[in-house]
Amino acid sequence: MAQNQENEIDELLKDLKKTPGFKSYLVLNSDGIVIRWDQVGAPMMYQQAVQHAHHITEIYNKSAARIKELFDPDDGLVENVRIRTEEYEMIVSSLGLYTLAVFHGDDGKAVENAVEEAKAIGETVAGSRKIKPFVEEAKA
């Protein structure tokens, strides 16, 4: 059973790598420890993956805490965080015990398509929980 789930995850990550504009991904556990990472082109160094994981975990936890302060704790669940810089865009999604961070290159249309897909997924999940998705673009 676990082997079958692992194969599904590998297939999903391979499909993710084929997406136009894809740069890298990180998979973190609930403690923010890097479980898997990969990058197109030169491999990402483990130290760089750990550094990204630290910043991702910190931003995600602070965002979740502030949303819970602003909204009802039951409705203030942060599932996706989108961060856009001059070099790339990062979409962080957490579900259960794991967090997936995907880095996209800023090549215009590919990034916008990925954002629209993430919004659609967020609206589907949010609609089932009666929460409106919270996506705010960080301006550099």
Give the global pTM. 0.67
- 86 within 8 A of 106, measured Cβ to Cβ: yes
Domains of the chain: residue spans and CATH: 2-129 (3.30.450.30)
pLDDT, one tens digit per residue, over 66-113 is 888 888 777 667 788 888 888 888 899 887 888 899 998 865 555 566
Q: What angle do CA 31, 47, 14 make, to 5 degrees?
A: 75
pLDDT, one tens digit per residue, over 29-64 is 888 899 988 888 777 888 999 999 999 999 888 888
Tokens 């810089």, residue? 85
- 104 within 8 A of 89, measured Cβ to Cβ: yes
Is residue 129's pLDDT more than 50? no
Q: Would you state the structure tokens that stand for residue 88, as one six-digit string?
A: 């790339």
d(CA 111, CA 23): 11
